[in-house]
């Protein structure tokens, strides 16, 4: 017994000592930052943080990799009640409404005012800030944004007797090219996609078609989804038909199909622009990029963005908040934004960075990087449908859509029934969310 008591006392003393040492050493204000960046992105992020810490001796940003986007959000939610969460957290775009409704964060647009500063938000790229804005005010700091585009293998185009400088621009052409490819025998399957749920959202947005009511959930909480109409059914029909012909091969929900494109098993690939740097580096053929294919004769909208943004936890001391703000401003600086873009393929968030990249000839050197910009900057920006979707239970709803598509492709349900079933499940989730969050 005595031994155990002594042991306990020693344990407590050690803990006290450790804690006091910790506080004594913590001269610069520590800013904790939870993120979900892995792979080559992690190295770029870490070097940016290192240079911030070196140039800002008053603050010390300590990054922590907390798993995937979903895991990071789960950890943040779990840490919130005990106030053990970070100062800054990176959340993926589907978690946006959850964060807005969380009552756990300080909207970014309020921070300069709280610190007695003014800030010009117009210096950031508008279609990106729009996505994260409520009533024109920015709630989270855009950080890693991307959009979806068409990648194609120029070498395979030549082998199949197609013009490598004429990628398909419509879904009808996708089908025609697909049939030519299959007839030529160059590939067994012609195209695949990453993120089918997000690719579906893109298909709606670039035709200025709403996903959910209440302006895609942007003017108020959405009550139901509205994509299960003729247009939505046509998208599902087209994809299922292409799949049944062997042109489209379903390639998983995230980045599984990248390897199929890189190894030349498929000729075309619709994927996030953030895969560009990786694909160019890994593939032995000439990579072409183009806009996301359209359905002819439908209205023009805009490609929407995806990726992550940075949220600031509520209730920080003024010192901490100042550090957070310095860090957020630092990330938006021209050189840093350029470093981030070149290292990863994500958009540089500031307009100044974009101009510098243009001036130094970055885009003419490699046009593939330009496609993404032209795409988001060339469409409409003033409609809710082209700005993007914001829904509370979005993570779960996207899974319903993917399983609907999987059922249609597997032939378990007709494309129409599969989409309707998915919509029904999603509507129930919206109803539950409204019940909990409605005023």
Q: Could you say whether residue 333 binds another protein (CB under 8 A)?
A: no
**Cβ of residue 60: shortest distance to another protein, in angstroms?**
28
Q: Contacting another protein (CB under 8 A), which of 209, 233, 243, 294? A: 243
Q: Could you say whether residue 6 binds another protein (CB under 8 A)?
A: no
Residue pair 73/98 in contact by the 8 Å Cβ criterion: yes
In SS3 terms, 143-206 reads as: EEEECEEEEEEHHHHHHCCCCCCCCCCEHHHHHHHHHHHHHHCCCCCCEEECCHHHHHHHHHHC
**Cβ of residue 70: shortest distance to another protein, in angstroms?**
5
Q: Could you say whether residue 409 binds another protein (CB under 8 A)?
A: yes
Q: Could you say whether residue 432 binds another protein (CB under 8 A)?
A: yes
Q: Could you say whether residue 339 binds another protein (CB under 8 A)?
A: no
Interface region with another protein, contact rule CB under 8 A, candidates 65-73, 300-308, 327-335, 383-391: 65-73
Q: Contacting another protein (CB under 8 A), which of 112, 252, 343, 351? A: 252
Q: Nearest-CA neighbor of 227 among 212, 205, 208?
A: 212
Residues touching another protein, count (CB under 8 A): 45
Q: Could you say whether residue 304 binds another protein (CB under 8 A)?
A: no
Count Cβ neighbours within 10 Å for each residue of 180-209 and write b for 16 or more, e otherwise. ebbeeebbebbbbbbbbbbbbbbbbbbbbb
**Cβ of residue 102: shortest distance to another protein, in angstroms?**
5
**Whole-angstrom distance, CA of residue 188 vs CA of residue 170:** 21
Q: Could you say whether residue 402 binds another protein (CB under 8 A)?
A: yes
Q: Could you say whether residue 104 binds another protein (CB under 8 A)?
A: yes
Q: Measured from the CB atom, is 58 or 256 closer to another protein?
A: 256
Q: Could you say whether residue 255 binds another protein (CB under 8 A)?
A: no
- Region of residue 365 (phi > 0: left; psi between -120 and 50: alpha; otherwise: beta): alpha
Give the Cβ contact number of residue 240 at 10 Å: 20
Q: Contacting another protein (CB under 8 A), which of 128, 249, 279, 357? A: 249
Q: Measured from the CB atom, is 27 or 431 closer to another protein?
A: 431
Q: Nearest-CA neighbor of 152 among 182, 188, 191?
A: 191
Q: Could you say whether residue 103 binds another protein (CB under 8 A)?
A: yes
Q: First vs last Cα of the chain: how many Å apart?
A: 57
- Can you read off the two tokens belonging to residue 397? 């709803």
Give the Cβ contact number of residue 100 at 10 Å: 18
Q: Could you say whether residue 77 binds another protein (CB under 8 A)?
A: yes
Q: What does the DSSP assignment read for 260-271?
A: HHHTTSSSEEEE
- Phi and psi at residue 171, in whole multiples of 5°? -70, -30
Interface region with another protein, contact rule CB under 8 A, candidates 19-27, 125-133, 188-196, 374-382: 188-196
**Whole-angstrom distance, CA of residue 390 vs CA of residue 293:** 24
Q: Could you say whether residue 98 binds another protein (CB under 8 A)?
A: yes
Q: Could you say whether residue 122 binds another protein (CB under 8 A)?
A: no
**Whole-angstrom distance, CA of residue 360 vs CA of residue 352:** 12
Q: Could you say whether residue 390 binds another protein (CB under 8 A)?
A: no
Q: Could you say whether residue 259 binds another protein (CB under 8 A)?
A: yes
Q: Could you say whether residue 282 binds another protein (CB under 8 A)?
A: no
Q: Measured from the CB atom, is 349 or 405 closer to another protein?
A: 405
Q: Which H/E stretch holds residue 53?
A: helix 40-55
**Cβ of residue 265: shortest distance to another protein, in angstroms?**
4
- What are the CB-based long-range contacts (under 8 Å, 24+) for 130-133? 130/381, 130/387, 130/388, 131/93, 131/96, 131/304, 131/305, 131/387, 131/388, 132/96, 132/309
Q: Could you say whether residue 89 binds another protein (CB under 8 A)?
A: no
- Helices 40-55 and 334-344: crossing angle in degrees, nearest 10, is 160
Q: Could you say whether residue 399 binds another protein (CB under 8 A)?
A: yes
Residue pair 31/330 in contact by the 8 Å Cβ criterion: no
Q: Could you say whether residue 417 binds another protein (CB under 8 A)?
A: no
**Cβ of residue 433: shortest distance to another protein, in angstroms?**
9
Q: Could you say whether residue 396 binds another protein (CB under 8 A)?
A: yes
Q: Could you say whether residue 86 binds another protein (CB under 8 A)?
A: no
Q: Measured from the CB atom, is 17 or 70 closer to another protein?
A: 70
Q: Could you say whether residue 127 binds another protein (CB under 8 A)?
A: no
**Cβ of residue 79: shortest distance to another protein, in angstroms?**
11
**Cβ of residue 439: shortest distance to another protein, in angstroms?**
11
Contact residues for another protein, defined by CB under 8 A: 70-71, 73-74, 77, 80-81, 98, 101-104, 188-189, 192, 243, 246, 249-253, 256-257, 259-260, 263, 265-266, 393, 395-396, 399, 402-404, 406-407, 409-410, 412, 432, 435-437
């Amino acid at each position: 017994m005595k031994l155990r008591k002594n042991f306990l006392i020693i344990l407590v003393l050690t803990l006290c000592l450790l804690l006091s040492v910790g506080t004594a050493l913590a001269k610069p204000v520590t800013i904790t930052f939870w993120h979900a960046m892995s792979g080559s992105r992690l190295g770029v992020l870490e070097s940016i943080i290192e240079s911030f810490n070196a140039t800002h001796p008053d603050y010390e940003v300590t990054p922590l990799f907390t798993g995937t986007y979903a895991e990071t959000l789960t950890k943040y939610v779990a840490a919130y009640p005990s106030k053990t969460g970070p100062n800054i957290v990176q959340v993926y775009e589907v978690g946006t409404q959850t964060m807005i409704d969380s009552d756990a964060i300080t909207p970014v647009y309020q921070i300069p005012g709280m610190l007695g500063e003014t800030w010009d938000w117009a210096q950031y790229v508008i279609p990106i800030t729009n996505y994260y804005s409520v009533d024109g005010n920015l709630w989270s700091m855009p950080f890693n944004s991307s959009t979806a585009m068409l990648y194609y293998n120029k070498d395979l185009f030549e082998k199949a007797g197609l013009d490598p400088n004429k990628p398909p621009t419509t879904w009808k052409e996708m089908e025609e090219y697909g049939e030519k490819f299959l007839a030529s025998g160059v590939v067994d399957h012609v195209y695949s996609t990453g993120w089918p749920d997000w690719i579906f959202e893109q298909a709606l947005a670039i035709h200025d078609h709403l996903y959910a009511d209440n302006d895609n959930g942007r003017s108020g909480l959405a009550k139901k989804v509205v994509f299960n109409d003729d247009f939505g059914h046509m998208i599902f029909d087209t994809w299922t038909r292409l799949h049944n012909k062997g042109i489209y091969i379903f390639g998983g929900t995230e980045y599984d199909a990248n390897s199929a494109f890189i190894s030349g098993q498929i000729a075309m690939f619709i994927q996030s622009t953030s895969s560009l740097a990786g694909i160019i580096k890994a593939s032995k053929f000439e990579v072409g990029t183009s806009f996301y294919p359209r359905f002819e004769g439908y209205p023009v909208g805009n490609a929407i963005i995806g990726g992550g943004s940075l949220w600031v936890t509520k209730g920080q001391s003024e010192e901490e908040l100042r550090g957070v703000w310095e860090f957020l401003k630092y990330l938006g600086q021209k050189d840093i934004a350029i470093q981030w873009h070149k290292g990863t393929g994500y958009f540089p968030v500031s307009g100044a960075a974009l101009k510098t990249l243009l001036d130094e000839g970055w885009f003419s050197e490699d046009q593939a990087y330009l496609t993404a910009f032209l795409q988001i900057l060339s469409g409409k920006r003033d409609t809710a449908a082209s700005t993007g979707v914001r829904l509370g239970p979005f993570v779960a709803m996207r899974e319903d859509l993917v399983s609907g598509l999987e059922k249609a492709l597997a032939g378990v349900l007709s494309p129409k029934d599969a989409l309707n079933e998915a919509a029904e499940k999603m509507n129930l989730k919206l109803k539950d969310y409204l019940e909990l969050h409605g005023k």
